[in-house]
Amino acid sequence: MDYILGVDGGGTNTVAQIADSTGKLITENESGPSNYKSVGIENAKKSINNSILGAIRNLKNSKKIVFKSSCFGLSGNDSDYDLNIYEEIIFNNKIKKYLNPAKTIICNDTRIGLAAGSSSKNSIMIICGTGSNCYGINEKREEAKANGWDYILGDEGSGYNIGIKALRAIMRAYDGRGEKTLLSETILEDLNIKDISELIGWAYSESFSKEKIASIAETVCRTAEMGDKISIKILEEEAKEAVISVGAVAKKLNLTNKEFDLVLGGSVFMCEKYFKAIFIEKLKDKFPKINFKPLTKKPVSGAIRLAIKNL
């Protein structure tokens, strides 16, 4: 049997799938994070090895395996410099014997997410999760991206951005610099925090975590649904940012007047009324021929799909 390998490496975990050449899943295995920018090269290598070796152990005759084709979708893989590092990480002594270098794709995790969500030749993926990112490809195989520069250089439209704005809105209300907002109660409640002075401790005492700030986006969504103007404004602003990202990628790929798929990924899209609906409405106005595709499959399945196309 021919075996196909797909790997989805992210900031939280790494998922490896092995499938047959028709794409039928045989086994899956998960390990720790593998974005070298956040966990370092050695830990990234360990996670990638563990995810693949664990999946291989689930097979019979595991020693004789060489993957016919494989695809790695890795977050943090944004430049030629990064690609060199990931090549070093991937073709290491523990796993290189299983790989066929001529049939190994190493791309960004948005690329596999896009493949998991759309089979159209013209397609864009937008992720609004802890961070945000937008990536697309057209029928000429041209690729383009926008946004996704993380918490300092900017990932507008992300849960992190929503969380930061919500926290600052609380402090503005507390100071008398801004309008009152229900967020002052709901955020403290959801974080199980007594008062503002404890909130300050929460924000600064532990080591900086994008994830804990991004988790506030869920509260903002709930508070918006309670009618809170500040929450609605924050979500609208960030939905518009997501629209701007898609517009920038569509323009670079010459898709402005063409039909294309738009795959939506990331937890912020679970905020239906004040984020997703506004996002969709504004994009429909701009690009009437857009097909919205919620991401229903795991991104790793896109890695399998790309590996099979490369057979």
Using CB under 8 A as the binding rule, the residues of this chain from 84 to 143 that contact a copy of itself are: none
Binding part of the chain for a copy of itself, among 88-96, 147-155, 221-229, 260-268 by CB under 8 A, reads 147-155
3-state helix, strand, coil in the chain (%, to 5): 50, 20, 30
What is the nearest approach in angstroms of a copy of itself to the Cβ of residue 157? Answer: 10
β-pair type (14-19, 260-265): unpaired
- Contact flag: residue 172 with a copy of itself (CB under 8 A): yes
Binding part of the chain for a copy of itself, among 75-83, 114-122, 222-230, 285-293 by CB under 8 A, reads 75-83
With CB under 8 A, what is the number of residues at the site for a copy of itself?
Answer: 36
Alpha-carbon distance 303 to 74, whole Å?
A: 10
What is the nearest approach in angstroms of a copy of itself to the Cβ of residue 281? Answer: 20
Using CB under 8 A as the binding rule, the residues of this chain from 214 to 253 that contact a copy of itself are: 244-245, 247-248, 251-252
What is the nearest approach in angstroms of a copy of itself to the Cβ of residue 118? Answer: 21
- Contact flag: residue 150 with a copy of itself (CB under 8 A): yes
Pick the closest to residue 128 from 288, 237, 282, 276 (CA basis): 276
Q: Which long-range contacts (CB under 8 A, 24 or more apart) does 34-41 make?
A: 34/9, 34/10, 34/74, 34/89, 35/9, 35/10, 35/11, 35/74, 35/75, 35/76, 36/76, 36/82, 36/85, 36/86, 36/89, 37/76, 38/11, 38/76, 39/11, 41/85, 41/88, 41/89
**What's the maximum distance between 2 C-alpha atoms anywhere in the chain?**
69
Q: Two tokens at 145?
A: 């991206």
- Contact flag: residue 286 with a copy of itself (CB under 8 A): no
- Contact flag: residue 37 with a copy of itself (CB under 8 A): yes
- Contact flag: residue 300 with a copy of itself (CB under 8 A): no
The footprint of a copy of itself (CB under 8 A) covers 37, 78-79, 81, 145-147, 149-150, 152-154, 156, 164, 167-168, 170-172, 175-178, 197, 199-200, 203-204, 208, 213, 244-245, 247-248, 251-252
